[in-house]
Amino acid sequence: MNALKRLFPFHGGLKTVRHKAESNQSPIQPGILPARLTVPLRQHIGAMAKPRVQPGDRVLKGQMIGQPEGYISAAIHAPTSGVVTAVESRPVPHPSGLPDLCVVIDSDGEERWMDRQPVDYRALHPSELRNVLRNAGIVGLGGAAFPSAVKLNLGGQSEWLETLILNGAECEPWITCDDRLMRERAAGIVAGLRVMAHLLEPREVLIGIEADKPEAIAAMTDACAGTGYEVRPIPTRYPSGSGKQLVKLLTGKETPVEGLPVDVGVQCFNVATAYTVHRAIDHGEPLISRVVTVTGHVRQPGNIEALLGTPFAQLVEQCGGYRDGVERLIMGGPMMGFALHSDEVPLTKAANCILAASAAELAPEQSVMPCIRCGACVEACPADLLPQQLYWHARAREFDKARDYHLFSCIECGCCSYVCPSHIPLVQYYRYAKNEIWAQEKEKEKAELARRRHQARLERLEREKQEREAKLRQKAPGKAPLTPGPSPTRGEGSPDPASSSNP
């Protein structure tokens, strides 16, 4: 039976130039141990991990150096053994270019591991197992970096799971780290998937891989033999690897606007995330490295399994260095990635690709023209939005209206900008509008907090005033005590006869 017959195409999307062959021809290389690693304590969605070390501390490879804080958080670990030389703000890979709190470790070159204990996951209560993953720092490695322990807990979201999807689509041009991982480590990915399926107990497990990765499809199909998990090749169409689009493709289900796949009984994880679950459970190793594609205008593009905290410049160096004419360094792919301010920033859990882009890889600068209402963006939008309406409202700062047009369902895939004949940088307007709305909401929260604090202060002052008055009444001659006690003699604050229990 042809698996493609059971697919449900999503609206819109693009056929893009793939640029996969540049980096997917050679095996994953081990990264070179850097002399210094800079490890950000915020490498995931949610609360920053709380530092557990201070300058001068010696650490072992895999030792927890950042404790998860709150429910949505994940632990951070030392990628190698050495000495902590600083816990301070350092530049990190983020579109804002702002620094963030990092633990800086000078490597001792010995790579001395902490004690590693494999886990018999079937013997653990689900909450204990999720805690093992949370303390191992497991987050989504497809780019979102959402803590996996939270997604592996259906409590409150859904009582049952119909479908567990493993995402091996890797639809964005240039990126090939998942392709190489599936080709080379399919058994490990499936071992991690088994742990996820044990926690979620789905009715079916589907693995979506774009049809232009025949070696990965073959390796994953072999590894899944006898498990009941089904590998489904999907058409090579961007953004088939985006969560909601993959859910639609494989199950036919529409994720609600501003909802999550779990709302329709589906949960998705990236193949690399499943692999790190396997390392954590079967080898007792926390998440301290990842496979990253280094490609574009570098001499030997490829994939490196690098320690988190490795400077991007060192990874580029390992790939032969820059070729002449690099204009921009992008983290992620050309469609959804962002430009970096420096190549000295460290590798993080979310970094699946470093793209050294020359003018040839970047879209040529073209002057922006007025919108001609051609509707090409509507045709291309895989989220079924009206991009030109969103653009008008974002541009006019009519943020409520932009929300009414489901701004927050925009996955920032860039399909609309890509096809716009007027070269309008549409996604930039959506990001701007989202940031403005978030900033306004933060301001509102701050104002509400200030209001509540002010109210609490007024109540405290009033309470203290009443307590003072009560004390004064107690001391004043001829007044009744407020608390029962031995009857004072007359003339020493005798009780009010009306309130006396012994008239």
Q: Are 192 and 276 in contact, with CB atoms under 8 Å apart?
A: yes
Shortest gap between Cβ of 387 and ligand SF4 (angstroms)? 4
Give per-residue burial for 436-462: e unless 16+ CB within 10 Å, then b. ebeeeeeeeeeeeeeeeeeeeeeeeee
- Rounded to 5 degrees, what are φ and ψ at 448? -65, -40
By CB under 6 A, the residues from 182 to 241 that bind ligand SF4 are: none
**Does residue 371 touch ligand SF4 according to CB under 6 A?**
yes
**Interface with ligand SF4 includes 129 (CB under 6 A)?**
no
Q: Check binding of 246 to ligand SF4 (CB under 6 A).
A: no
**Between 146 and 391, CB nearer to ligand SF4:** 391
Both tokens of 391, joined, read 């653009």
- The 3-class SS string of 290-306 reads EEEEEEECECCCEEEEE
When asked if residue 152 is in the footprint of ligand SF4 (CB under 6 A), the reply is no
For residue 247, state whether it binds ligand SF4 (rule: CB under 6 A).
no
Task: Report the nearest approach of ligand SF4 to the CB of residue 409 (Å).
Answer: 7
Closer residue to ligand SF4 (CB): 75 or 411? 411
Complex with ligand SF4: residue 268 or 376, whichever CB lies closer = 376
**Which is closer to ligand SF4, CB of 373 or CB of 468?**
373
Q: How far apart are CA 478 and CA 480, in angstroms?
A: 7
Is 287 a residue that touches ligand SF4 (CB under 6 A)?
no
Q: Is the peptide bond before 239 cis (omega within 30 degrees of 0)?
A: yes
Angstrom distances, CA of residue 24 to CA of 28, 124, 389, 482: 9, 38, 39, 83
Q: Considering the rule CB under 6 A, would residue 73 count as an interface residue with ligand SF4? A: no
Is residue 229 a contact partner of residue 187, using CB atoms and an 8 Å limit?
no
Separate counts of helices (H) and strands (E) for the chain: 12, 17
Contacts of 74 (CB under 8 A, 6+ apart): 43, 44, 46, 49, 68, 134, 137, 138, 139, 147, 149
Site for ligand SF4 in 427-456 (CB under 6 A): 427, 430
Q: Is residue 208 within 8 Å of 249, Cβ to Cβ?
A: yes
Q: Cβ of residue 430: shortest distance to ligand SF4, in angstroms?
A: 6
Per-residue mark of binding to ligand SF4, 375-414 (x: CB under 6 A): xxx--xx-x-x-xx-xx------------------xxxxx
- Near ligand SF4 by CB under 6 A: residue from 104, 319, 424, 433: 424
Residue among 373, 453, 468, 473 that touches ligand SF4 (CB under 6 A): 373
Residue (335 or 355) nearer to ligand SF4, CB: 335
Residue 23 CB, shortest distance to ligand SF4, in Å, is: 25
Residue 175 in tokens: 């990126």
The token duo for 72 is 């949505």
Interactions with ligand SF4, residue window 476-495 (CB under 6 A): none
Q: How far is the CB of 424 from ligand SF4 (least distance, A)?
A: 5
Q: How far is the CB of 406 from ligand SF4 (least distance, A)?
A: 9
Which two structure tokens, joined as six digits, stand for 154? 């259906």
Q: What character string, x for contact with ligand SF4 (CB under 6 A) and - otherwise, covers 327-356? A: ------------------------------
Closest distance between ligand SF4 and the C-beta of residue 244, in Å? 10
> Strand order in 76-77's β-sheet?
50-51, 64-67, 76-77
Cβ 38 to ligand SF4 shortest distance, Å = 32
Q: Which of residues 164-183 bind ligand SF4 (CB under 6 A)?
A: none
User: How near is the Cβ of 191 to ligand SF4 at its closest, in Å?
Assistant: 34
Q: Quote the least distance from Cβ 368 to ligand SF4, whole Å.
A: 10
Number of residues that bind ligand SF4 (CB under 6 A): 29
Phi, psi values for residue 180, rounded to 5°: -65, -35
C-beta of residue 216 within 8 angstroms of C-beta of residue 185: no
How buried is 429 (Cβ within 10 angstroms: 0-12 exposed, 13-18 middle, 19+ buried)?
buried
Contact 288, 59 (CB under 8 A): no
Where do contacts with ligand SF4 occur on this chain (CB under 6 A)?
371-377, 380-381, 383, 385, 387-388, 390-391, 410-416, 420-422, 424, 426-427, 430
